[in-house]
Structure 1
């Protein structure tokens, strides 16, 4: 994995020194909150509903054990003993005191971490497939590209005051685990005549105007990638709306001008940016790629795994649900659920972070990943070690066997923390998870992605949930709209709104009725909820939610 160079360390240290002085000026009153706001946002500091919130970057979701332990230290020393992992593979600390934030940033710098560009109208933390470098289906590791983009975009003079925030995702496999179609700009590694390059999408995004990204270039060679990305951002920087923040994202620019016109403008700008590159970026990319050399994996006999799998049903359930195929024989990718039934999705205590760091250091080549689904990944684990790892996870609340199931819910912080939220997300997620654990139906239901947002900004990705839940304020009462059929993968689609929303008391029974309808109508136990919805359409699910009359009307429509 990438390690800070002397330049990186000096750059971050200087930024922290500047911000410490700005914080001191805010505390002594030399800066008003309005004057301080753009300065704190450049350093990942938000003012939330009850307190400041510090968002720390975890570039492309990759951590080592020392970094995870330092996050645990921050949680205990300056917060309330936990951190919240987000859908952009970052971590948020929800309760820091302003006077302590410079010390937190200095502590992060000690282990090669920062909070730069995790907020503000700039290029945000670049995300990637959380199985990068390990997945059996991978064409190439996307993290070197993500790191190249991180370095080139950090404090880029042209892109510090964009019309709005700009989000980039990179995937290196045909199976899209990085939600690329919902990003402002996405790179999908592809091959052409044996050469590796990039399919480029633009104009994706969720929020109040959700859109699926469109292909602007079918194949961009590695040599052209950085100037091409700069051309895309440069064109949007000129065309993007600054008169209306709700229309300022690149998805609106693409919609207003059309993908063909945007492509023409980007190609013209690309001719200029490409001429300005002298090959330094390619040399840098080679250096970065070397930092991501795969670990030396050694295969071991799997008898211990086989015995535990045959004898222990709890271990077998966890292995069937939480393990994914690794490219190396005798290895597995472990997904550690941060969604124990009734817990806050994405939260990890300092003690849990240390347990995960210890496991990564002892068994996992010192690597951890954060997924956009708010879970932690151990990417390189020998199957021989899995029984012992499971035994460590269990007493620490980290062995829940629910990856991809109905209780593995993505949820934003909602109105419990966020000043923008109009409804609570966390209690709804907790109640759904608890209810279906009581019913003991999760494994019978199979794969079902529920995603919950507490406002139209869609930080919980509800638009691309198999079942999406959007919390809104209706005359001072929380109201929850349901969408069906969303998909964040390579077959990306936006969910369809079912109809009127439900109160907080009604939403859990409504989800139960949807699941009952799915179980009643699926063609076989192997047909997933999404497959059933795509085959059957809205009608049977709408009938389950609202009654026979509405269902008949839906069928007639």
Structure 2
């Protein structure tokens, strides 16, 4: 993973010192709330419903064990012994005091972490495939490009005050695991017939109040010009994006208003002025950054050793049903023979999705050091990944996770739901998300049932900002306010990936206590109507939403 150089260290240290001074001035009354607000947002600090919330960047979801240990220590020292991992591969602390924020930032700087540009109208944390560098379907490792985007965009003076927040995602594999179609800019890296790395660029995607699938505006862009082209996109948006209406300020509104073709034309015209200029990626710099993302010192297992380990694990799987199920759902094929990537689910009954306590974070960091070369990733689905686990260590790893309630074999199942913190914490939320998630967990708390249902995404957002990505869940749940009461709207048919789509509302909204039962009824229709081995989304595509609606609303009073 990337290591800070002297410039990085100096930049982050200076930002910590600057914000410490700003915080002290605010606490002394020398800065007003209005004056302090943009300063704290530039450092990832929000004022939430009950306390400040600090959002810390985990660039493209990549973490070292030492960094996770420090995040755990911070949760114990400055928070309430837990933290929340988000759909943007970041971490949030929900209970720090304002006075402690500069000290937290100083401790983060010691392990090459920060909260810079995790909020505000700027370019936010660039996200990517949590299996980057190890996936068998990968064309190009996106991590060096993500790092170059991070360095280019951090404190970029031209884009420090955009019309609205701006999000970029980069994918380098055949399967899109970075959700590039629902980002302000999405980048697909591939290789042309000559074997050269080129990029496809999408613009105007996003969720929130107006969910939109992004449009392709450029194909076959030489990798050296990736930053110049993104700069051209940013300039067009910065120039013409609306600043008079908060709800119409995202780039998706601009692209939609003038049309993707016209937007691409304007970007191309801007790009002609700057391509080949100062933001071109030099080969030397690309090589320097790429050198931090080389493969670890894998053991070179022979074919015979791999086969022997597979047979041993097969016997263990026959003896331990839990181990078998865990491998089926939580293990992913690796490009290196004898290794797999293991997902650690943060979706346990009775625990808010994406939350991990201090003890769990320390344990996972220890396991990363022991079994995964000291590296792990945070996923869009609010889980962890140990990216490089030798197959011979799988049973031992599972046994340890099981002992600590971290071996939930539910990756991709209905209980592996995405949920934002919602009204329990967020001052923007219309309704609570966590109780809804816990209620659904309880309603479907049967692993045999969940396994039979197969892959099924269920996403929950507490407001229209869609931090829980409800629009692209096979089942989406959105909290809405009606005359001061919390209600929940249900959508069907969303999906992410290569064929991303936006879910559609099925009808009138529901009381909170009714939502788990509504989900169960949707699943009942699926079980009744599915063809053999058909997934929920495939059944929905085949029969349409009407049978689901009819069953949900039969004898049901909704508003």
TM range (shorter): over 0.9
The 1:549/1:64 distance shift into structure 2, 3 A limit, reads: closer
Contact in 1 for aligned 2:60/2:146 (Cα 8 Å):
yes
User: 1:402 pairs with 407, 410, 414, which one?
Assistant: 410
CA contact (8 A) 1:299 1:331 kept: no
Residue of 398, 412, 422 corresponding to 2:430 = 422
Q: CA deviation at 1:395?
A: 1.8
How has the CA–CA distance of structure 1 residues 76 and 278 changed in structure 2, closer, same or farther, with 3 Å as cutoff?
closer
Q: Which residue of 1 aligns with 2:360?
A: 352
TM-score after normalising by structure 2: 0.96
How far residue 306 of structure 1 moved from its aligned partner, in angstroms, is 2.8
| 3-state SS of paired residue (2:159) | coil
Deviation of the 1:307 alpha carbon? 2.8
Contact residue 463 and residue 478 of structure 2 kept, 8 A: yes
Q: Distance in 1 between matches of 2:279 and 2:475?
A: 48
Q: Is the 8 A contact 1:305 1:385 kept in 2?
A: no
Distance apart, 1:391 and its partner CA: 1.0
Structure 1 residues 278 and 23: alpha-carbon distance in aligned structure 2, compared to 1, 3 A threshold: closer
| 1:360-371 equivalent positions in 2, closer than 5 A | 360-371=368-379
Aligned twin of 2:172? 172
Q: For residue 205 of structure 2, what is the aligned residue in structure 1?
A: 204
- Taking the aligned partners of 2:189 and 2:544, their CA distance within structure 1 comes to 33
Instruction: Tell me how far 1:279 sits from its aligned partner.
Output: 5.0
Q: 1:439 to 1:360 in 2, by over 3 A?
A: closer
Listed as ranges, the matches of 1:30-109 within 5 Å are: 30-109=30-109
Q: 1:279 to 1:542 in 2, by over 3 A?
A: closer
Q: Which residue of the partner structure matches residue 154 of structure 1?
A: 154
Query: CA 1:280 to 1:421, structure 2 compared with 1: closer, same or farther past 3 Å?
Result: closer
Task: Report the Cα distance in structure 2 between the residues aligned to 1:140 and 1:439, rounded to whole angstroms.
Answer: 36
Displacement of 1:342 after TM fit?
A: 2.0
SS of 2:158's partner is: coil
Deviation digits for residues 477-506 of structure 1 (CA, Å, limit 9, x no counterpart):
211111001011111000011000111111
Q: What is the CA deviation profile of residues 287-339 of structure 1, one whole-angstrom value per residue up to 9, with x for unaligned ones?
A: 11111111121145415423322211111011111111111111111010000
Which of 485, 495, 500 lines up with 1:477 in the alignment? 485
User: Kindly tell me: are residues 326 and 439 of structure 1, through their superposed partners in 2, closer, same or farther at Cα, counting changes over 3 Å?
Assistant: closer
CA distance in 1, matches of 2:30, 2:261: 50
Distance 1:548 1:26 in 2: 56
Using a 3 Å threshold, how does the CA distance of structure 1 residues 549 and 125 change in structure 2: closer, same or farther?
Answer: closer
Secondary structure, counterpart of 2:445 in structure 1: helix
CA distance 1:408–1:37, shift in 2 (3 Å): same
CA contact (8 A) 2:227 2:280 kept: no
Q: Identify which of 380, 400, 407 aligns with 1:392.
A: 400
> Does residue 448 in structure 1 map to residue 456 in structure 2?
yes
**Conserved in 1, the CA contact under 8 Å of 2:353 and 2:419?**
yes
Q: Secondary structure at the match of 1:158?
A: helix
Greater shift, 271-280 or 372-381, is seen at 271-280
Does residue 32 of structure 2 align to residue 24 of structure 1?
no
Q: Secondary structure at the match of 2:43?
A: coil
Q: CA deviation at 1:396?
A: 1.5
Separation of aligned partners in 2, 1:429 and 1:392: 26
Tell me the distance in 1 between the aligned counterparts of 2:428 and 2:281: 42
Residue deviations 1:437-457, cap 9 Å, x none?
Answer: 158411111111000000111
Q: What is the deviation of 1:189?
A: 1.1
Of 291, 295, 305, 2:313 maps to 305
Q: 2:198–2:220: 8 Å Cα contact kept in structure 1? A: yes
Cα distance in 2, alignment partners of residues 493 and 35 from structure 1: 41
The alignment of Structure 1 onto Structure 2 pairs a total of residues equal to 549
Displacement of 1:280: 5.5
1:540 alignment counterpart: 547
Range with bigger deviation, 534-543 or 463-472: 534-543
Which residue matches 1:269? 270
Deviations 1:421-478 (A, max 9, x none): 0101011111111211158411111111000000111100000000000011112221
Deviations 1:354-373 (A, max 9, x none): 11111111110111000010
- Deviation by residue 1:99-143 (Cα, 9 ceiling, x = unmatched): 111010000000000000000000000000000111111111111
1:465 equivalent to 2:473? Answer yes
Instruction: Give 3-state SS (helix, strand or coil) of 2:46's partner.
Output: strand
1:285 Cα offset (Å): 1.8
3-state SS in 1 of match to 2:444: helix
Contact 1:140 1:172 in 2 (8 A): yes
Gaps of 5+ in 2: none
Q: Is structure 2 residue 183 aligned with structure 1 residue 183? A: yes
Q: Is the 8 A contact 2:443 2:517 kept in 1?
A: no
Are 2:234 and 1:243 aligned? no
- CA change 1:278–1:434 in 2 (3 A) is closer
In terms of mean alpha carbon deviation, does 268-277 or 89-98 score higher? 268-277
CA distance in 2, matches of 1:160, 1:224: 22
**Structure 2 SS opposite 1:131:** coil
Q: 1:278 to 1:141 in 2, by over 3 A?
A: closer
- Where does structure 1 differ by over 6 angstroms across 4 or more consecutive aligned residues? none
State the secondary structure of the residue aligned to 1:378: strand
How is 1:511-530 mapped onto 2 (pairs within 5 angstroms)?
511-524=519-532, 526-530=533-537
RMSD: 1.4
8 A contact 2:171–2:180 mirrored in 1: yes
